[in-house]
Amino acid sequence: MPERDVTMGQLLLTEYQTVKDEQKTRIGFRDNLLYVTLTVVAAVIAAAAQAEQTAMLLALPPVCVVLGWTYLVNDQKISAIGAYVRGELGPRLAATAQAQGDEVFRWETAHRTDTRRVSRKVVQCVVDLLAFCVVPLSALVVYWAGGDVPAGLTVVSVLEAVAVAGLGVCIVQYAVPFRTGGANG
């Protein structure tokens, strides 16, 4: 069998396909986390209402924080892959092919020039905050308003509120100021 040389262009295209496959997988996983969160929220609220136990609502904050953090980390990796393709891989492939940098992987930059991009990012930030922060904070308010809250669970619920608020700060920090050259793809 004859030996076949692998060119730098082939290696770069293989790397491109690999990172795009990872990005695609992460997008599917990230998007499903919103559905999982909605399902868990509905199940916990229904169980708490049926059992007439507001203390069951204390399950929502840790679940929403874990799912929200996982969502945020995957979203950041998705954006980081896009930034890597635009900033590193595309220019290296263009140099190998002796082409202009903007002639390769044009979609990686073209979709970012949409005039509605900023409004989509704002709406997505609001949706993320609603799903992962407002809902669990609302559950805590309902729990606190239910009266006769034991001291131990009060401490737990306050710690949960701090964790949810921390996640909210991370979500907003990640979304603002909608960097164009960074990882906020």
| DSSP string over the chain | ----PPPHHHHHHHHHHHHHHHHHHHHHHHHHHHHHHHHHHHHHHHHHHHHT-GGGGGGHHHHHHHHHHHHHHHHHHHHHHHHHIIIIIHHHHHHHHT--GGGSSTHHHHGGG-TTHHHHHHHHHHHHHIIIIIHHHHHHHHHHHTS---HHHHHHHHHHHHHHHHHHHHHHHHHTT--SSSS--
Residue 181 has pLDDT above 50, yes or no: no
Lowest mean pLDDT among 33-37, 63-67, 71-75, 106-110: 106-110
pTM for the structure as a whole: 0.85
With pLDDT > 90 as the criterion, what percentage of the chain qualifies? Answer: 67
What pLDDT does 165 receive? Answer: 98
Instruction: Specify the range with the lowest mean pLDDT, choosing from 20-29, 44-53, 105-114, 140-149.
Output: 105-114
Which pLDDT value is given to residue 93? 87
pLDDT of amino acid 112: 76
Say whether pLDDT at 119 is over 80.
yes
- The pLDDT score that the predictor gives to residue 107 is 79
pLDDT at residue 41, rounded to an integer: 97
Whether 17 shows a pLDDT value over 90: the answer reads: yes
pLDDT at 164 > cutoff 80:
yes
What band does 183 get if pLDDT is binned at 50, 70 and 90?
A: very low
Model pLDDT, residue 96: 86
